[in-house]
Amino acid sequence: MYKYLLWFIAMLPAHGLAAGQAKVNTDIGLMSVNIQAATLVNADPRVLWETLTDYNKLASFVPGMTLSRQISAPKASVKMVEQKGEGGLLSMVLPDHVIMELRETPQSRITFKSVSGFVTSLRGEWVIDGTRSPVILGYRARVVPALPPPPMLTDEYVQKEIGLRLEAVAREAERRMRERR
């Protein structure tokens, strides 16, 4: 997990970074897109974990997501989650409808891979790095779209969209943290 911490620190500007301000790197290739992102979250790992794993409510606070629901049994060791999005240009990279298999390591990591959807492959992980507030929320994914990414899809566009989603998760976790105080 410390690789996220080291990567995140390396990306910080000299003046620091405010909580909830995501840093995102992307590499759009001819056949795949690699994404690596991180943000500082003013919440403890437990609250951030509860936010990330609130699969049935993600669409209520993640921009561009219109549906998120767990379709496996509530206590299943491997979770199956269906998600839908608004489409648009980002759907050329991240499918606007996908079913994913998720494996959880409580309060630290969620690995995911697509099992259905208009994508050849989607694999990645969410990582919570830290034992008390603030913590680092890391995200990494490798996407192989069903069709090659179009030339008009820029790293800047994907970085902005991923950043908005990561920041929304951070804001929701911080809101939940404030409610508990």
pLDDT at 3: 55
Alpha helices (H) along the chain:
2-11, 45-52, 155-180
If you search the block for the tokens 């630290």, which residue do you land on? 108
Domain 2-180 of CATH type 3.30.420.40: no
The pLDDT > 90 percentage for the chain reads 68
Q: With a cut of 50, say whether residue 16 has pLDDT above it.
A: no
Confidence of residue 15 (pLDDT cuts 50, 70, 90): very low
pLDDT at 10: 53
* Distance between CA atoms of residues 162 and 3, nearest Å: 20
pTM, to two decimals: 0.89
Confidence of residue 7 (pLDDT cuts 50, 70, 90): low
Strand segments, DSSP code E, in 17-169 are: 23-28, 33-41, 65-70, 78-85, 97-105, 109-117, 119-129, 135-145
Structure tokens at 4: 């996220």
pLDDT digits (tens, 9 = 90+) for 106-154: 999 999 999 998 888 999 999 999 999 999 999 999 999 888 887 777 8
Each residue of 32-57: b (16+ CB within 10 Å) or e?
bbebbbbbbbbbbbbbbbebbbbbee
Structure tokens at 126: 């969410």
pLDDT at 13: 46
pLDDT at 19: 66
